[in-house]
């Protein structure tokens, strides 16, 4: 679907410059979008989007774009941080009026890394880990989930991923495990591997705990990320599906293009998604 708004229009609307450093950290918390007819869908941020920026800048950008639910990548809160450091960052985000709901994406290749990931998330008060544990470690993951009540959403990475390329491959590994082990459907990677993200969201609705929103220019391994609305994916159909299945998790934008200057493209992506919600009379949550 073609995006009918220009980047310049979105930036003018949102008051954003081309660098995160131009955004004041004191911007107030955004009010939620309201609707009387539909349940709320929570639009958030996978902080990998802003991987070239500092934590302070991530907070400022999130506030300015009204992305109040954040899943932090380790460059913004290292996995080996001390409990005190984790608590300080958690408080900083809370004081900014934002919700640190999860960590994304954490790879777990040893029992020690499983233990570290869950200790990290527990200390931060996170609800969920978006992760990629080696399959042989899933019994250990299940034990930690029973101990902590923290959910794990396994992330698929599409073409080239030999373990979890698709939502189907994830489900095959977890179908007999604790229900708190579920999926983070990355819609771009799902589309690139030739599957319909909306259909997969419906198929695994009862185990869908996180979503990564993005757009791409083509199917297959050659597919590249674009601003949402500039690619060939049917984003409105996917968002409508989330509303239909009463999805209550976060739909986190993971904008992977323009790693060194991501704010303009992120702003345009957010504007496009909000335009879709407005046009479909849907509601955005907190």
Q: What is the pLDDT of residue 277?
A: 86
Domain assignment present for 228: yes
Q: What is the pLDDT of residue 247?
A: 96
Q: What is the pLDDT of residue 18?
A: 40
- Kindly write down the DSSP assignment for every residue of 88-120, as one continuous string: HHHHHHHHTT-EEEEEEEEEE-SHHHHHHHHHH
Domain assignment present for 250: yes
| Pairing of β 99-108 and β 69-72 | parallel
Average pLDDT over all residues of the chain? 88
Q: Is 18 exposed, middle or buried (0-12, 13-18, 19+ CB in 10 A)?
A: exposed
Domain assignment present for 94: yes
Sign of CA dihedral 50, 52, 55, 60: negative
DSSP 8-state secondary structure symbol assigned to residue 30:
P
Question: Could you read off the pLDDT of 130-155 as tens digits, one per residue?
Answer: 999 999 999 999 999 999 999 999 99
Question: Could you read off the pLDDT of 8-22 as tens digits, one per residue?
Answer: 444 444 455 443 333
Domain assignment present for 141: yes
* CA atoms in the 13 A half-sphere facing the CB of 239: 31
- Statement: residue 201 has pLDDT above 70: yes
Q: What is the pLDDT of residue 28?
A: 32
| Pairing of β 225-226 and β 215-216 | antiparallel
Q: What is the pLDDT of residue 2?
A: 38
Give the distance between the most distant pair of CA atoms in the chain: 50
Q: What is the pLDDT of residue 17?
A: 43
CA distance 152 to 21: 33
Domain assignment present for 121: yes
Q: What is the CATH number of the domain that holds 254?
A: 3.20.20.150
Q: What is the pLDDT of residue 286?
A: 56
Q: What is the pLDDT of residue 282?
A: 60
Question: Could you read off the pLDDT of 14-54 as tens digits, one per residue?
Answer: 455 443 333 333 333 333 333 334 457 899 999 999 999 99
Q: What is the pLDDT of residue 41?
A: 83
User: Of the ranges 25-39, 150-164, 205-219, 251-265, which one carries the lowest mean pLDDT score?
Assistant: 25-39
Average pLDDT over residues 163-186: 98
User: Of the ranges 2-16, 57-71, 199-213, 252-266, which one carries the lowest mean pLDDT score?
Assistant: 2-16
Domain range for 195: 7-22+39-284
Residue 284's nearest CA partner among 33, 17, 25 is 33
Structural domain count of the chain: 1
What is the pTM for the complete model shown?
A: 0.86
Domain assignment present for 111: yes
Domain assignment present for 146: yes
Q: What is the pLDDT of residue 40?
A: 72
Domain assignment present for 1: no
- Statement: residue 163 has pLDDT above 80: yes
Q: What is the pLDDT of residue 13?
A: 41
């Amino acid at each position: 679907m073609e995006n009918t708004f220009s980047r310049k229009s979105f930036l003018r609307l949102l008051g954003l410059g081309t660098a995160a450093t131009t955004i004041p950290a004191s911007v107030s918390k955004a009010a939620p979008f309201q609707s009387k007819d539909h349940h709320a869908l929570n639009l958030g941020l996978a902080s990998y989007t802003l991987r070239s920026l500092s934590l302070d800048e991530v907070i400022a950008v999130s506030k300015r774009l009204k992305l109040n639910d954040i899943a932090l990548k380790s460059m913004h809160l290292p996995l080996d941080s001390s409990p005190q450091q984790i608590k300080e960052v958690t408080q900083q985000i809370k004081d900014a009026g934002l919700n640190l709901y999860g960590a994304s994406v954490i790879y777990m290749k040893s029992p020690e890394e499983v233990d570290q990931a869950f200790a990290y998330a527990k200390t931060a008060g996170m609800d969920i880990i978006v992760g990629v544990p080696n399959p042989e470690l899933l019994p250990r993951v299940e034990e930690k989930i029973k101990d902590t009540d923290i959910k794990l959403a396994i992330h698929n990475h599409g073409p080239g991923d030999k373990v979890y390329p698709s939502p189907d491959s994830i489900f095959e590994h977890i179908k007999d495990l604790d229900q708190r082990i579920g999926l983070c459907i990355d819609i771009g990677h799902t589309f690139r591997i030739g599957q319909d993200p909306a259909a997969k969201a419906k198929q695994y609705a009862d185990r869908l705990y996180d979503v990564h929103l993005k757009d791409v220019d083509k199917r297959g391994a050659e597919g590249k990320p674009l601003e949402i609305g500039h690619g060939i994916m049917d984003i409105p159909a996917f968002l409508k599906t989330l509303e239909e299945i009463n999805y209550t998790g976060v739909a986190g934008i993971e904008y992977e293009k323009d790693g060194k200057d991501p704010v303009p493209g992120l702003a345009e992506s957010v504007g496009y998604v909000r335009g879709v919600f407005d046009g479909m009379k849907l509601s955005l949550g907190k």
